[in-house]
Structure 1
Amino acid sequence: MDPEPRATPDDDTNPLRRLSLDDLRLRTSMKWRTYPDDVLPLWVAEMDVPLAVPVAEAITDAVALGDTGYPAGTAYARALADFARARWDWDGLAVERTAIVPDVMLGIVEVLKLLTGPGDPVVVNCPVYPPFYQFVTHMDRRVVEAPLGAAGRIDFASLERAFRHAAADGGRAAYLLCSPHNPTGTVHDAEELSAVAALADRYGVRVVADEIHAPVVALDAGFVPYLSVPGAENGLSLMSASKAWNLAGLKAALAVAGPAAADELARIPEEVSHGPSHLGIIAHTAALRDGGDWLDAVRAGVDDNRRLLAGLLAERLPGVRYRPAAGTYLAWLDCRPLGLGDDPAAAFLERGRVALSPGTSFGTGGAGHVRLNLATSPELLTEAVRRMTVALT
């Protein structure tokens, strides 16, 4: 196997090209400590970037002041509202209809507790982010799958069947919408989201939108918040700066309610607000307020990597089907033509020493697929495809 390449800081405008592989291997986070050093990790959604300068400065200033107590105030919500207005042309994010939660998935759990009871159904569009299954079942709710269509978009016939089934049980049903969708990267448009709201209203299903990847869309794409479309007034959303600015280790997120769900969100237990990190809130607030240029540089870098990956696969692994998407920094690869079985990630890891997320963990429709993290340098992305090719020889 060839020596591992170095990602060199030869492009100061692209945060994805600032760190070498040696730099990255000094990290102690999950991405870089789960596998041995001979494995190239392109799996979990951490980005190979330095911290945005405004975020680093905000944290450093807080530490210098000893400002490490309990979180308080509405700075995070106000920063998100300003960001939504500037980026998505949405004025509807009202600070008074928000609640601080520890992170998006724990926020989803708390919101689902408000809307559903034990044994109630929660609809998901599979294949989908694995914690949707794990967290929902651990809180004694039932997952009802509504598979995506062949193009990776919402299949409304499938969704209506799932809603009808969920509503027929007589309990309180919810729909956990992933927007932009993980793992496919689909960015739902206003027409689709309006159709979701209308269908949910028809069957009495409550919509909870996971919009953690909302800031990370292609430069030529736009994101539409679910709560901004007609009919979504009783919906709830979970948002965070976590994915867009690589802040998973600095816990904080916001639950946002539509006007007709405000009273329900107000019932969220007060102790939930103790879960986020005060430094996390400081970091997320700084990212949203002052990290726009950095974010746009990342988005441009991810756009470049989408094109690079498409070209590399066409040249070296033409059997892999890849549809570059407009959202997230994740790539969903259909490897079924390679003949590697339901879990090609296992073969890529064992034979090529590259770690990808196995599609089987994403539910129905995931077998034979892998999810690859594009938020790395072009050099490491190229090396990953080379290793995947080696796994087939």
Structure 2
Amino acid sequence: MVAMAADEINPLRRLSLEELRLRTSTKWTAYPSDVLPLWVAEMDTPVAESVVRAVTRAMERGDTGYAGGTEYARALDVFARERWGWEGVVAERTAIVPDVMLGIVEILKLITAPGDAVVANSPVYPPFYAFVEHMDRRIVEAPLDEAGRIDPATLESACREAVAGGRRAAYLLCSPHNPTGTVHTAQELAAVAELTAGHGVRVVADEIHAPLVLPGARFVPYLSVPGAESAFCVMSASKAWHLAGLKAALAVAGPGAAADLARLPGEVSHGPSHLGVIAHAAALRHGGDWLDAVLTGLDENRRLLAGLLARQLPTVGYAPPQATYLAWLDCRALGLGDTAASVFLERGRVALTSGVPFGTGGSGHVRLNFATSPELLTEAVDRMRQAVA
């Protein structure tokens, strides 16, 4: 029998609950030890061996200074060509930023002013609201339709509102979408480009979950669609390779946005971790087998979750996501209002994320992170069933 390489074994099955509880990250320390934490976006996996080797070598040679260079951009370029057939990551049109959200904030500062509007499709990742409002901009919601997709009429109305009075505005696109796991099609993105250009709204795409598109769907980089030349995207290896603690991300400008990105203050490049850049570049260049194993495991888990919910919580709505490892659960039929997450925590000892902070469309929902072992996922759903029995 041929031995299976470590990166080819489902990484979601490799750690026991006892091993996971030794971690000191927020996922495993925010709640008491009897709680199963399926809330924040951390995966229950070891780190890819290629990443461990790269960081270990850096530590051994004392390569622990400030981040710089173009290796991250060149690694993402290779990955994007191989995985998506996209040649748009040109090193001269990129900038290393501390993480995706902080990179987005810095870009929004370049293309909008205090008091300007930022359009977002709700329900959406809660930091979109927090970071935008903290920088003295305002969110204009363009809710997704019932199928969890971008509604052109709703988006146009939001863009019109955003630029009222001649103000500048931006559209913060979540692609793939968090929390629904929707993967926007090339046709949808081209329509977005045409619509936003017609209103003078600049697009900034959060594509942090791009490597986590599951079988049956295809990721389309926003900058690859016609009309997106003046847009930006921000990417990172953090979600797909479990590297959130190694801070680094890459901002990429379309050809028509290069001059704007060049105005990014030099001090922004001081925020990324040099070890983070090394880790992310290694993941993109050498972590493909590990990523494929994770995607296989996530595909199995999203189908497992569908079966578990159908048997144990049949009134909970669940559309298996096309991407990410996040399940958006409609709990309105349980009659718990906006307390579902609290009930599952207090009665079932399962930590989920309440849908309320995700904005319009989040009421009555919870978000569940299924990037864990099948055994823990099964136990969590059983606990959830008992919590509402």
- What is the TM-score of this pair, normalised by structure 1? 0.97
- Residue pair 2:8, 2:289 contacting (<8 A) in 1 also: no
Q: Cα deviations across residues 296-354 of structure 1 (Å, max 9, x unaligned)?
A: 10001000001000000000000000000211110000000011112310110011000
Structure 2: 5+ residue stretches without partners: 1-5
Q: In structure 2, what is the equivalent of residue 361 of structure 1? A: 357
**Alignment pair present for 1:209 and 2:209:** no
- Residue pair 1:126, 1:147 contacting (<8 A) in 2 also: yes
Q: In structure 2, what is the equivalent of residue 4 of structure 1? A: none
In the aligned structure 1, how far is the partner of 2:194 from the partner of 2:16?
49
Deviates more, 1:245-254 or 1:335-344: 335-344
Q: In structure 2, what is the equivalent of residue 349 of structure 1? A: 345
Q: In structure 2, what is the equivalent of residue 283 of structure 1? A: 279
TM-fit CA distance, 1:159? 0.5
Deviates more, 1:17-26 or 1:164-173: 164-173
- Residue pair 1:343, 1:369 contacting (<8 A) in 2 also: no
TM-fit CA distance, 1:11? 11
Q: Cα deviations across residues 95-132 of structure 1 (Å, max 9, x unaligned)?
A: 11000000000000000000000000000000000000
* Corresponding residue pairs, total: 384
- Residue pair 2:149, 2:184 contacting (<8 A) in 1 also: yes
Structure 1 residues 64 and 11 mapped into 2: Cα distance closer, same or farther (>3 Å)?
closer
Q: In structure 1, what is the equivalent of residue 104 of structure 2? A: 108
- Residue pair 1:343, 1:360 contacting (<8 A) in 2 also: no
TM-fit CA distance, 1:220? 3.1
In the aligned structure 2, how far is the partner of 1:365 from the partner of 1:310?
21
Structure 1 residues 334 and 21 mapped into 2: Cα distance closer, same or farther (>3 Å)?
same
TM-fit CA distance, 1:374? 1.0
- Residue pair 1:12, 1:18 contacting (<8 A) in 2 also: no
- Residue pair 2:240, 2:291 contacting (<8 A) in 1 also: yes
**Alignment pair present for 1:239 and 2:242:** no
In the aligned structure 2, how far is the partner of 1:22 from the partner of 1:12?
23
Q: In structure 2, what is the equivalent of residue 49 of structure 1? A: 45
In the aligned structure 2, how far is the partner of 1:220 from the partner of 1:162?
31
What is the aligned counterpart of 2:330 among 334, 337, 357?
Answer: 334
In the aligned structure 2, how far is the partner of 1:203 from the partner of 1:106?
26
**Aligned letter for 2:36?**
L
**Alignment pair present for 1:70 and 2:66:** yes
**Alignment pair present for 1:383 and 2:379:** yes
Q: Percent identity?
A: 73
Q: In structure 1, what is the equivalent of residue 219 of structure 2? A: 223
Q: In structure 2, what is the equivalent of residue 95 of structure 1? A: 91
**Aligned letter for 1:355?**
A
**Aligned letter for 1:370?**
V
**Aligned letter for 1:58?**
A
Q: In structure 1, what is the equivalent of residue 256 of structure 2? A: 260
In the aligned structure 1, how far is the partner of 2:108 from the partner of 2:257?
12
Q: In structure 2, what is the equivalent of residue 7 of structure 1? A: none
Q: In structure 2, what is the equivalent of residue 271 of structure 1? A: 267
In the aligned structure 1, how far is the partner of 2:301 from the partner of 2:124?
22
- Residue pair 1:83, 1:289 contacting (<8 A) in 2 also: yes
**What are the residue-to-residue correspondences of 1:161-176 with 2, within 5 Å?**
161-176=157-172
Paired residue secondary structure (2:168):
coil
Q: In structure 2, what is the equivalent of residue 17 of structure 1? A: 13
**Aligned letter for 1:307?**
R
TM-fit CA distance, 1:169? 3.2
TM-fit CA distance, 1:221? 2.1
- Residue pair 2:181, 2:326 contacting (<8 A) in 1 also: yes
Structure 1: 5+ residue stretches without partners: 1-9
Paired residue secondary structure (1:122):
strand
